[in-house]
Amino acid sequence: MLNIAVVGCGYWGPNLIRNFNSLSECRLKSVCDTDPERLAHMKMLYPSVITASEFEDLVKNPDIDAIVVAAPVRYHYEMAKKALKAGKHTFIEKPMAQSSRECEELVDIAEKHKLVLMVGHTFVYSKPVRKIKEIISSGELGELQYISARRLNLGLFQKDINVAWDLAPHDISTILYVLGKDPVSVNCQGKSHVAKGVEDVTTMTLNFANGAFGIIQSSWLDPNKVREIVFVGTKKMLVYDDVEPIEKIKIYDKCVEIPPHYDSFGEFQYSYHYGGMYCPYLKLVEPLKVECQHFLDCIKTGAKSESSGLEGLEVVRILEAASASLQDGGGQVAIRYSAINTAQTA
């Protein structure tokens, strides 16, 4: 039986606590937070759990096998480093850390100590995203031309990261998982409207070597909650709407056909194909529960996680390039992939 500890009982931590507590292969041993009211609330919900106000209590506890870091991003690196060096398997919420250098160091430590290091890219474990990868891999959409992602809502405003670092990791990790390819460069523009120096609206473009590209719009300043990704292929188009309760994926038999040849301008005509629409059946399961179970399975079997430290590093590298583009007024910034990516993903 694996003993799990969760640090951070604020916005997302309680969801991780709930899911780990529900899994039979582990025991939720301890939760940690600096807010005594949050700890008291967790103790009321889970009476058998040991509460702690100091992270060091988790690190030094020999009974704890794994630590889940759901604290603010500025603490991810420091806490994960201490947990790994103490021999604890470590799960970190997204984004993995504040820099690629920090991510690389965490990957190295986990590899050295033969520990599982996993990042909370939750949508990689969702039924709709798994189905989308299957559909695109089958060639049903044809050659993928572009992807458009929108993740918008009113808040929650963060203090230590901008909206791109907060929301875009979901869409970046989804796109990378579905395509199985890395972008070569990034463009990003944004504005700060509420807190000076913290962009609350951004638009990011991922450019791929084969000519495909992805657009990611992120906002904390929108009246409606939008969670949508559109995949446009040469044969069909797919819309993934995560806000939709049941029909989350819709496939449209629509495309534009270009004539193969013509002798005069008068003969040139685009052909617009309009077909039907269908929704594939999905047996929905909470992605976070699947993700938590996957973490436990990787610890038990030694298998590589589908959102390992390497995937976390990859997303942070893209975010770093996006930040550099923001500072440059939206110019194109190449993504530098280090030897750690090449060696361990080859």
Domains in the chain: boundaries: 2-121+288-309, 124-286
Question: Is the predicted pLDDT of residue 26 greater than 60, yes or no?
Answer: yes
Residue 212: the pLDDT is: 86
Residue 262's pLDDT band (cuts 50, 70, 90): low
Question: Is the predicted pLDDT of residue 157 greater than 70, yes or no?
Answer: yes
Residue 346: the pLDDT is: 37
Condensed to tens digits (0 to 9), the pLDDT of residues 62-104 reads 999 999 999 999 999 999 999 999 999 999 999 999 999 999 9
| Alpha helices for the chain (secondary structure H) | 13-22, 36-45, 55-60, 76-85, 100-112, 127-138, 163-179, 287-301, 309-327, 339-345
Half-sphere exposure of 329 (CA within 13 A, CB side): 0
How far apart (Å, rounded) are the C-alpha atoms in residues 25 and 249?
A: 32
Question: Is the predicted pLDDT of residue 328 greater than 50, yes or no?
Answer: yes
In this structure, CATH architecture of domain 124-286: 2-Layer Sandwich (3.30)
Residue 197's pLDDT band (cuts 50, 70, 90): very high
DSSP notation for 286-317: -HHHHHHHHHHHHHHH-PPPTTBHHHHHHHHH
- Per CATH, 2-121+288-309 and 124-286 having the same topology is answered no
Residue 261's pLDDT band (cuts 50, 70, 90): low
Instruction: List Cβ neighbours of 271 (8 Å cut-off, separation of 6 or more).
Output: 256, 257, 258, 259
Assigned CATH topology for domain 2-121+288-309: Rossmann fold (3.40.50)
Condensed to tens digits (0 to 9), the pLDDT of residues 103-120 reads 999 999 999 999 999 999
Question: Is the predicted pLDDT of residue 218 greater than 60, yes or no?
Answer: yes
For residues 143 and 260, the model is more confident at 143
Residue 343's pLDDT band (cuts 50, 70, 90): very low
Average pLDDT, the chain: 94
How far apart (Å, rounded) are the C-alpha atoms in residues 117 and 105?
A: 12
Residue 344: the pLDDT is: 44
Q: Is the peptide bond before 95 cis (omega within 30 degrees of 0)?
A: yes
How far apart (Å, rounded) are the C-alpha atoms in residues 303 and 313?
A: 18
Residue 256: the pLDDT is: 80
How far apart (Å, rounded) are the C-alpha atoms in residues 221 and 156?
A: 9
